[in-house]
Every structure is written in structure tokens, then in C-alpha cells.
């Protein structure tokens, strides 16, 4: 069976038709009914070049109608792609390891919206791709909206050229205060022990240093300072600039009893960001985004250099799992 007909592209109403004629995201389904998880992983292994080509073109793929029921099935799918795992060191979201390479997506409360971001854009070592899997579809809401990063850059550059020039010159500085343990009520509630995967402050200091992060120890936690790091990157594969940062996420969403979001991110020279520009960027992200309702068994594969993602509030139950790759 050829690569082109083992999976077929399908269209769903929520997709966006791009100026180049491609659909965003690409949505594929097995061309013949697939009843066993083993068959699904075999199809992925044998048709990986086709799926990778589709990912390169679109930036995001949703695979529907696979016979996946459990986290273990999802782990097998992730492994069938053959990518190297990326440990979640330095990320802000509270997560729980489930099995193998699989952990929960951000466990912040269901009534909270998670703003648009590239995964781990605030640290130098970020995943090239990330997988999501819907184990339990939400009663309502809970979509994972996605948006093409180069489109955001182009619109921001056109509307705010001086702001973008300054952003490209100075980058961004991220500041976050962590408690010792995880706070499941906060969207950025990962404590320093799980952030650096140790309960030893010296080891945490070492791992932070490897990320280029400075730590300032407090009586009941630690202040992390990251940067300045670039806010705009160049996608060498697609030959275009991308809006690779967590500016909007930090400025509008890094809020809990320890953190003031306005102070969470500044220009790399320490000067404050203009609130009106940040919130207009948020508006652009929303306008350009696509939100597709989760169905049980869906797998979403994102190119982290091409696409930002977020999460809408939802009515439980909802269980979406994730995996990061180098």
C-alpha cells in the first residue's frame, strides 16, 4: 500500500484554508478501518515520510479514527515515529508522568484559559515537536487552538514595526517565582523540585545554569530569571521568521499568589512591554487561530517551530496527554 493511500486527508469544518491552498491543520484518517492499536503503529512506522512531509507543509497534523484507548496506546504511537524524547526540564506547567514518554498536558483548573505559546519558548532547550492525545474528550470546550507563528510575526511586523525591531534587538527577559512543591491551582504552578527534577538545591542550581537561567533563592521558594533570549527566530527549514516566544502567555497568564504577570516578562534590556501592544498581539493570535473539538482517540502532532498552541476552558471530564520530542 502506498504512503498516499494508507492515510487519506480529510476536511473538517473548522480547518482554515491558507493562501497557498493548503488546509491548516492537515487532518488525516486511515483509508481503511483500523481496529487494532498495533496496526495503527505499523501504519505510522511505514508511512512516516508521508506524515512528516504533511507536517512540514502544514505545521500541524491531526490523526483521527485510530483505535487508541489508553495512554499506553498513545505511547506506542509516539515511539513509532522514532523521535528522541525531550525531558520536561525548565517548563512551567504542572504535569504528571503517566507512562513511558507520556505525561498529562497542563493540569491547571478547567475554568482557566492557557494563553498561546510555543512549548518551552522561554528556555533554550525546547522541543522540536509535540504530541497531544485525547484519552477522554471534554463535555464541552477544552479545545487546543493552534496558530501559525510566521503569520503572527508578519502581522505584528506590519502593525508595530518599531516594537518588533526592539524585540528582535533585545529579546525578552522572563522572571518567575517558584514554590518548593507543585501548585495544581496555578497554570504555572510547577515547583522548583519538579522543574529541575531534584530536591537538591545545588543540583537545581546546576541544571538551571545549563539552561542559562539564574536562580535567586527565597525563604519559601526561588526566583528564576531567564534571558535575555530571542523572541523572534528564523525557521531554517521553511526560510521565514517566526514569533517564537511566550510574551503573551507570560504577560497575560503567569499569575498566581507568587507572580505578577506584568513583571513576568520584559524587553531584554529590562524595560517594560507596552500593554496595548501585548493585548493586540493576543487579539491577532485569536483571529488567526483554529480550534478543533477533541474527539476520543485523536492524536495531534505539532511542529513547535511553526505553531503556537493554547487551551480553552472546559467542562470536565477531559484528559489530554502529551509527549515532547527533541
Note the pLDDT tens digit of each residue in 102-133: 998 877 789 999 999 999 888 888 999 999 99
Q: Is the pLDDT of residue 184 over 80?
A: yes
Range of the domain at 14: 3-147+291-325
Same domain, 125 and 243: no
Q: Which residue has the cell 506506542?
A: 76
Same domain, 107 and 241: no
Of 103-107, 221-225, 288-292, the one with minimum mean pLDDT is: 103-107
Residue 92, pLDDT score:
59
Cα 282 to the center of its chain, rounded Å: 16
pLDDT bin (cut points 50, 70, 90) of residue 189 is: confident
| Average pLDDT for the chain | 93
Segment among 22-31, 103-112, 194-203, 215-224 with least mean pLDDT: 103-112
Q: Structurally, how many domains does the chain consist of? A: 2
- Are residue 29 and residue 86 in the same domain, yes or no? yes
User: Is 222 in the same domain as 254?
Assistant: yes
pLDDT reported for residue 306: 97
| Range from 28-32, 34-38, 192-196 carrying the lowest mean pLDDT | 34-38
- Between 269 and 92, name the one with better pLDDT: 269
The pLDDT, as a whole number, for residue 90 is: 55
CB 178 within 8 A of CB 222: yes
Q: What is the pLDDT of residue 233?
A: 97
Taking alpha carbons only, the member of 194, 96, 79, 89 closest to residue 131 is 79
- Is residue 114 located within the same domain as residue 49? yes
| Residue 214: pLDDT band with limits 50, 70, 90 | very high
pLDDT above 90 (res 3):
no
CA 149 – CA 233 distance, rounded (Å): 10
314 and 256 in a single domain? The answer is no
Shared-domain flag, residues 54 and 160: no
Pair 277, 296 in one domain: no
Predicted pLDDT at 125: 83
CB of 78 closer than 8 Å to CB of 131 = yes
- Please tell me the pTM assigned to this model: 0.91
* Contact call for residues 152 and 117 (beta carbons, < 8 A): no
Q: Measure the CA–CA gap between 300 and 63, rounded to whole angstroms.
A: 6
280 and 315 belong to one structural domain: no
What is the mean predicted confidence (pLDDT) over 232-257?
A: 94
Give the model's confidence band at 185: pLDDT under 50 very low, under 70 low, under 90 confident, else very high.
confident
CA distances, 237 to each of 112, 134, 167, 303 (Å): 35, 29, 22, 11
Q: Which pLDDT does position 2 carry in this prediction?
A: 43
What mean pLDDT is predicted for residues 4-10? 84
Pairing of strands 26-30, 60-63: parallel
- Do 199 and 81 lie in one domain? The reply is no
Instruction: Over range 251-265, report the average pLDDT.
Output: 93
Same domain, 95 and 192: no
Residues 273 and 303 in one domain: no
pLDDT score, position 58: 96
More confident residue, 24 or 185: 24
The domain spanning residue 303 has which CATH number? 3.60.130.10
User: pLDDT: is 37 or 232 the higher one?
Assistant: 232
**What percent of the chain stands above pLDDT 90?**
81
Amino acid at each position: 500500500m502506498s504512503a498516499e493511500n494508507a492515510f487519506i486527508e480529510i476536511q473538517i469544518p473548522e480547518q482554515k484554508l491558507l493562501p497557498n491552498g493548503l488546509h491548516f491543520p492537515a487532518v488525516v484518517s486511515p483509508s481503511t478501518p483500523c481496529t487494532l492499536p498495533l496496526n495503527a503503529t505499523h501504519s505510522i512506522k511505514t508511512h512516516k515520510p508521508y506524515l512528516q512531509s504533511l507536517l512540514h507543509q502544514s505545521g500541524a497534523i491531526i490523526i483521527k479514527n485510530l483505535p487508541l484507548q489508553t495512554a499506553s496506546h498513545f505511547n506506542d504511537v509516539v515511539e513509532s515515529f522514532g523521535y528522541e524524547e525531550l525531558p520536561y526540564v525548565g517548563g512551567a506547567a504542572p504535569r504528571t508522568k503517566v507512562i513511558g514518554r507520556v505525561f498529562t498536558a497542563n493540569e491547571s483548573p478547567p475554568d482557566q484559559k492557557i494563553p498561546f505559546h510555543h512549548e518551552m519558548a522561554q528556555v533554550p532547550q525546547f522541543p522540536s515537536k509535540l504530541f497531544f492525545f485525547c484519552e477522554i474528550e471534554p463535555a464541552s470546550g477544552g479545545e487546543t487552538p493552534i496558530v501559525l507563528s510566521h503569520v503572527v510575526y508578519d502581522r505584528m511586523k506590519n502593525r508595530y514595526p518599531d516594537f518588533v525591531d526592539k524585540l528582535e534587538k533585545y529579546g525578552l527577559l522572563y522572571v518567575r517565582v517558584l514554590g518548593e512543591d507543585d501548585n495544581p491551582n496555578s497554570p504555572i504552578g510547577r515547583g522548583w523540585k519538579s522543574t529541575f527534577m531534584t530536591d537538591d538545591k545545588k543540583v537545581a542550581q546546576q541544571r538551571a545554569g545549563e539552561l542559562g537561567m539564574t536562580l535567586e533563592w527565597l525563604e519559601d521558594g526561588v526566583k528564576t530569571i531567564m534571558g535575555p533570549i530571542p523572541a523572534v527566530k528564523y525557521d531554517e527549514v521553511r526560510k521565514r521568521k517566526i514569533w517564537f516566544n511566550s510574551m503573551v502567555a507570560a504577560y497575560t497568564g503567569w499569575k498566581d499568589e507568587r507572580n505578577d504577570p506584568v513583571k513576568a516578562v520584559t524587553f531584554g534590556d529590562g524595560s517594560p512591554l507596552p500593554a496595548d501592544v501585548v493585548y493586540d498581539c493576543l487579539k491577532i493570535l485569536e483571529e488567526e487561530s483554529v480550534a478543533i473539538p477533541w474527539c476520543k482517540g485523536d492524536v495531534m502532532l505539532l511542529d513547535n517551530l511553526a505553531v503556537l498552541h493554547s487551551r480553552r476552558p472546559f467542562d470536565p471530564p477531559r484528559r489530554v496527554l502529551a509527549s515532547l520530542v527533541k
